[in-house]
Each structure stands twice: as structure tokens, then as C-alpha cells.
Amino acid sequence: MNLQQANFEDLITTYYYGTSAYEAAGHLVGLITREQSQPLATLLRDYRKRAVNMPSEIKFREAVDDLMICCSAMELASLIGFIPIFQQTDFGSKILLILENKYVRLYYEEFYPTKLPQLLRCRLAGAHHVINGTELYSNFMAFLALDRRFMEKLNNCYLLRMLDSFTIKEYRFSDVVNLLSTPNKFIELLLVAPDKRDVMSQTLNEFSSLMQFCFDLRKLLILTESQPLFQSAIWNHYSYWFQIIGKELSEQLGEALQQFIKWKPVINNKDTINTIYCYVTKAKAVLSELTSNNYSIPVDDLLDELNYEVLDFEIIYILKPALGEDVIKEVTDKVLGIILTYKGECFRLDDWGVRQLAYPIKKYAKGRYCYLRFNGRPDLIGEMERCLKLDENVLRYQRNIITKESVAKIPSFVEFDTIEVDEDEEVSEDTKKMATKEF
Amino acid sequence: MQTHLATRTLKGTQKPNKDVQALFAVQPNRKAILFIHGFSGDAIDTWSDFHGLLLECPKCTKRDVFFYGYDGLRAEMNASAAIFREFLDWFFNSTKILLNENLPQSAPRTNDFEYDELIIVAHSLGAVIARRALLDATNNKSNWVAKTKMILYAPAHKGANVVDLALEVASSFSFLKLFGIGARFTSPLIDELKPESRSLKKLLEDTKTATKNGTNLHLIACKVVLAEYEKIVVNDIFGDDPAPYAIPETTHTSVCKPNRDFLQPFSHLEVCL
């Protein structure tokens, strides 16, 4: 048995063919391959600029949301090697085509910024990132079981849509809060048999399911805390609810939970009041934690890493003129160490020796010029500059990003052979400008 | 190491329309475990971390695992038992169809695959339903019954007062029992589960008749596990069931809910595998 392939089939069956993700993909691929940008831009528009009210548009966007959930689950599974690399499959090519489309990207990167589809795009484009560890599989299985319950009991049902500001058959979430102020009515509706439930009784049952889901998700996140990236990815799978509309969700559910504290138990003593108070406090704490962004960082960092373009840089730094070889080596080791730490690559390191400065810097007329060329991500150069700025042996530095156009202008020694000035001579403003133009 | 395929909801053209979750073993050994929840429970939630612990247990790596769901709040007890029996018939007699309709193509099983053993782990009302289903199947001369074994947690076969339990387990709001929920709740199960009810008396009589002269041993539980602080079911021994074990510091609902810091409910099952 090819286990990874079996897992892939399972996930595709559940998240792609088992939801409207499949229809959304078909529709999107059609629009993209026929280069119908305008309909695509309209369908996936920013809802804040132009509201989405037409039922057909709402349905289409819900299908696109299912597709993003599918991408998110596939990324989570890929992250731990639960499924094979699938970029060469028809499914993989189709998903990459969709995820790379400009309008689809706006939808999942800006309008509803969900991270796992972004990671999947990077993965399908060739940036494979896999984590290993014990218990990853069993925890992933626990995630699948939890997510199955979420999909069946909550996704595309009433409560979450109400929390997302939708009105369902004239009911809004505020009606749920109002109803919670009357315990008898609440209990009566909660007991209605599944086949006889109306909007409110169904919503109240979903409220119970959602709170249980929050407790269980929190439990799973604790279970996975030794794998922060995996933990973060699980949380990100639900980031629409706990991050994008997390604040509203937490406030609204908090307000609903608060109603329980006003209830008068049949046995009205300290213990019973305390039981309710403990439940509400615990539930609010869990909600607060799930919506706090505490879990977002590892996935954000990975995404930043994958999104950063590797650039070519050059730095010329000037050391004090009379430093001993050991100090010069120390500075050199430090800058090379930064390149190594940030996974950059050094191409050239030249010591141009002690030269006359264009004008005195920190009262030095001469300085030792060093030239360094390397590549790396922007955070590398940030750290490099910070290090050079703090080093008292460095008089000045200049860095450039090397573009194709500037390759021809790679500095030669001559270009940096600066204007000769006497150390005690006053430097004119023009000379300073010329010098600072170089540095 | 992955020992089971992802959790799936069992589907099938002939399957009774119930929520059954399945975990198929990657290297099956023709043995399975089936969990059946109790009054007002849920196919998986009732069992808490059993799901996760099973996947990590060396004795379970080759066993298929099923979590059977039914309406344990409103449905009539004998009807639930009949539907469960139909499921077991399908499970044993249509195994090939069950597997074809539920396994991914890249994880096929041999054509002659069938189950040699099914351990039924039942909680509360689930114990009554399981025993009734096995009794009826025995009377129907179903040949698969001998492949089954029962392990029971807080069984309700000697009666139960389910009124107070109604919403405590029906919703995640555990404090609702403080608001007199039971008085508002109606269900055929309230009468059916009363000690000495007609249904329970008949269950005992039929079991005694069927197990007379040491026959049909599958109708006698392999193990019975009780809660120390039981307030819902009557903890009397049923027929020829073995002397029970009790788990300290547990209640009716927590007796079947192990977690990584509380393994006793799980250990009781593990030693029987």
C-alpha cells in the first residue's frame, strides 16, 4: 500500500470532492484559462468596497472559501509529510494555477488573509518545507477528527454566519444573546429534536457545539506545543474565525456567555453559582487565547521566509586605520557569521587596505576599506547594518542592492579612491556632499 | 509512524443511516474494536481521548476501530438495538462492500478479507443496546455472533435514572443540570431504563435463557467497569457477567473518558486485547 497516496485520496475526497471546493476550482480554472479577468475581479472583489449581496455571488464565494479550506488542509498534511508532493498531479497544477492568479491572490492574501493557502502556493511553486517529529501523525489524526466535527456541525451552518454579521431568516446574533437572558426558553429550544429545529433552536445547539469545539481545539493546541510550526498551522486552519473576525467573535460570544451568570439556579447556593461562574470564566479565557494571535507567529515567520526574495548586496565598510590584524579578523568573522546565520552566500571579500578618506570621519583622515559582496534575504542586510552600526571599529559603511543594471557598475578600487584631504583641513560642504554621495 | 488511515464517516448503500466513524488499520489483522456510546452521547465525544490513545497503543496498531453513533436521547431502546443489529449484520456479512465503499483505491484489502473478532466497547445505554442486538442476532442464528466480545463501562442494564443526565451530556454546558433540565425532558428511555422496567427484565430473562448450559458466551460481558461515584445507573451484576472493576474518582460520564494523565479507562480495554 502506498500510504501517502491513500492519505492523499482521503483528503481529496473529504475536502475537495466532498465540498463545493470542486465546483469552485472548475469555475475558477475556466475563468482563468479564458482570461476573463473582469468577471473574476468582480466575483472576488473587496466586499468592503462593494457589498456582496446577490445569492449567486454569495454561493460562489462560499465555494471559493471551501477551496481555500481544502488548500489549507492540504498544506497542513504536506507540512508533516502525511501526503506526497502533489505539484505534478492534475490537482496540483489546477490548484497552483488558481492560487497564482492575481485576483484569487487578492482574495486570500488581502481581503481574507489566510496563511495556509499562501504557504501551499509557495510549496506548489517549489518551496518544500516538511517538519518531522514524534506524535505528528497521531496529532494530525486528532486534528482530522476535530475538523470533521467542525465541518459537520458548524461550517456553513447558522451560528458562525451570524457571528460573521449575516442575518439568517431575519435572525441575527443579538437575538441569540437576547434569548440567553431567558433560561427557560433557552433550555426549551436546546431540547428540540434535530428534525424539528428552527433557526434559533439549531443556532443554540451550534452554540453548544462551538464552545465544545473551542475547548477541544485548545486541548489539541496544547498537545502540539512541542511542534510550534505544526501547532501554528492547525490554528491557522481556523484563522478566519479566530484571527480575521476573531475580535468580533470573541466579543459576541463573550457577551452571550455573560448571560449565563445572570441565571438563577434552582439550587441557589455558593457552589452552584460558582460552577456557572467557573464555566463562563474558563470559556472566555479559552476564547481570548484562541483569538489572541499567540499562535500565528511560526507560520507568519515561515511565510515571510518563503516570500522574501533573495537579493544580491554589496557593502563597503571602513575600519579605523590602525587596527591590529586580530581586530580586523574579528570584524570580518562577525560579518561572515551573519551571512552564514541568515543562510546567505558570500561571493567576494576584499581588503583594499588603508586609504585616504574624502573627509575626516570621527576625526580619522584615513580608513581601511573592505568590500563585501553576498546574497541573502532583506533581514540579513538588516542585521548586517545593525552590527556594523554598533561596532566601534567601523567608521562608516555603505550598502547597495545589486540589480542587473548595476552589475556593470561593480565598484572598482579606483572608483572609491576618494578625494585627498588633509586631516586638519576644513572640509567644504560640497566635498562632504560628494563624499556622502559615495557613502 | 502512521498505523491507521484518516478518520472517515462510514458510508455504504446498505448501511443503516447512522453516524459511524472508522479508523482503518494500515496493516489489518482481521480484528476490530467498536465503541457504542450511551444515553445522549456522541459517536466519538463520549470516549474522549480513546481515539488518540488507540492510535498510539501497540496492541491496536493492526485493528480497525469503529465509533458507532445513534440517537441516544430520544430513540426507543429496542429500536436502537434492532438498527445496531442490522449494522452488525452488514458489517460481518457485507465486509467486502463495506471496505470497497470506504477504503481509498490505493489502500485495498484482499478479496477474502473478513473480520475474525469484534470487541464491542459499550457505555451506559450502549451496553443495553449492544446486548439486546447480540441476543436478537443469536436468536436469528447469525453465525457472526461468536466473533464478538463485550466490554462494558457503567452499563445501564440494571436500570438508570437518566433524567438528571439529559442535558449534562447533551450539550457542552455542563452546568445546565442546575436549572432543573430533567423535568422538561421527555424520552421513551426514561421509562425503559427504570430499574425493573419491562424491557430490562426481558433482557435479563432472554440472556439467562440463551446462556443456559454455558452456551452463547458472547452474551456474557468479558469485563465490566464501574464508576466509583456512580449516580445514574444501578451497579448490580447482570446475569452471569463477571465481578466488576471500579475506577476510583470517576462518575458515570468520566468512567469512559481517559486522557494522557488518566489512563485507567483505557488500560481496562488494553488488557483485553
Say whether both A376 and A234 belong to one domain.
Answer: no
Let me know: does A167 contact A58? Beta carbons within 8 Å. no
The C-alpha cell of A159 is what?
451560528
Asked if residue A412 has pLDDT above 50, the reply is no
At A187 the pLDDT is 81
pLDDT band per the 50, 70, 90 thresholds, residue B165? low
Asked if residue A396 has pLDDT above 60, the reply is yes
pLDDT band per the 50, 70, 90 thresholds, residue A152? confident
Report the run of H or E that residue B119 belongs to, with start and end: strand B117-123
The verdict on residue B70 lying in a domain is: yes
Distance of CA B122 to the CA centre of its chain: 3
Asked if residue A421 has pLDDT above 50, the reply is no
Let me know: does A349 contact A370? Beta carbons within 8 Å. yes
At A267 the pLDDT is 65
Neighbours of A260 (CB within 10 A): 20
B104 contacts A279? CB cut-off 8 A: no
Q: Domain with B203 in it: what CATH number?
A: 3.40.50.1820
How far is the C-alpha of A244 from the C-alpha of A246, rounded, in Å? Answer: 6
Beta-carbon contacts of residue A422 (< 8 Å; ≥ 6 apart):
A365
Nearest to B173 among A193, A208, A265 (CB): A208
Convert the pLDDT of each residue in A130-148 to its tens digit.
898 878 888 999 999 899 8
Q: What's the sign of the alpha-carbon dihedral A293, A156, A8, A6? A: positive
Report the run of H or E that residue A43 belongs to, with start and end: helix A37-43
Let me know: does B265 contact B258? Beta carbons within 8 Å. yes
Say whether both A297 and A331 belong to one domain.
Answer: no
Better-scored residue on pLDDT, A405 or A336: A336
At A312 the pLDDT is 83
Domain boundary among A93, A114, A130: A130
Domain boundary among A130, A148, A175: A130
B141: left (phi over 0), alpha (psi -120 to 50) or beta: left
A288 touches chain B (CB under 8 A): no
The verdict on residue B80 lying in a domain is: yes
Which residues of chain A have a CB within 8 Å of the CB of B28? Answer: none
Asked if residue A426 has pLDDT above 90, the reply is no
A226 touches chain B (CB under 8 A): no
Q: Could you give the residue ranges of the DSSP H alpha helices within chain B?
A: 50-56, 77-93, 95-102, 125-139, 166-170, 188-192, 198-210, 264-270
Residue B179: C-alpha distances to residues A185, A260, B173, B175, B266 (Å)? 12, 11, 11, 8, 33
Name the residue type at position A189.
Answer: L
Residue A273, CB-side half-sphere exposure with 13 Å CA sphere: 5
The verdict on residue B109 lying in a domain is: yes
The verdict on residue B49 lying in a domain is: yes
Residue with cell 433550555: A187
SS3 label, residue B250: strand
Say whether both A12 and A63 belong to one domain.
Answer: yes
Say whether both A283 and A336 belong to one domain.
Answer: no
Nearest to B74 among A141, A193, A263 (CB): A193
Residue with cell 522574501: A308
Q: What's the sign of the alpha-carbon dihedral A282, A284, A286, A289? A: negative
Cα Rg of chain A, angstroms = 30
A–B: how many Cβ contacts below 8 A? 104
Q: DSSP class of residue B25?
A: B
* Number of domains observed in the structure of chain B: 1
Query: Global pTM?
Result: 0.77
Q: DSSP class of residue B179?
A: G
At A413 the pLDDT is 39
Say whether both A332 and A262 belong to one domain.
Answer: no
Which residues of chain B have a CB within 8 Å of the CB of A209? Answer: 172
Convert the pLDDT of each residue in A191-249 to its tens digit.
787 888 899 999 998 998 899 999 999 999 999 999 999 999 999 999 989 998 898 99
At B83 the pLDDT is 94
pLDDT band per the 50, 70, 90 thresholds, residue A117? very high
Give the structural domain span for B213.
Answer: 8-159+195-270
A215 touches chain B (CB under 8 A): yes
* Number of domains observed in the structure of chain A: 3
Say whether both A228 and A279 belong to one domain.
Answer: yes
Give the structural domain span for A164.
Answer: 132-307
A141 contacts B173? CB cut-off 8 A: no
The verdict on residue B90 lying in a domain is: yes
Domain boundary among A291, A307, A323: A307
At A260 the pLDDT is 86
How far is the C-alpha of B273 from the C-alpha of B257, rounded, in Å? Answer: 18
How far is the C-alpha of B96 from the C-alpha of B100, rounded, in Å? Answer: 6
Closest chain B residue to A147, measured at CA = B7
Which residues of chain A have a CB within 8 Å of the CB of B75? Answer: none
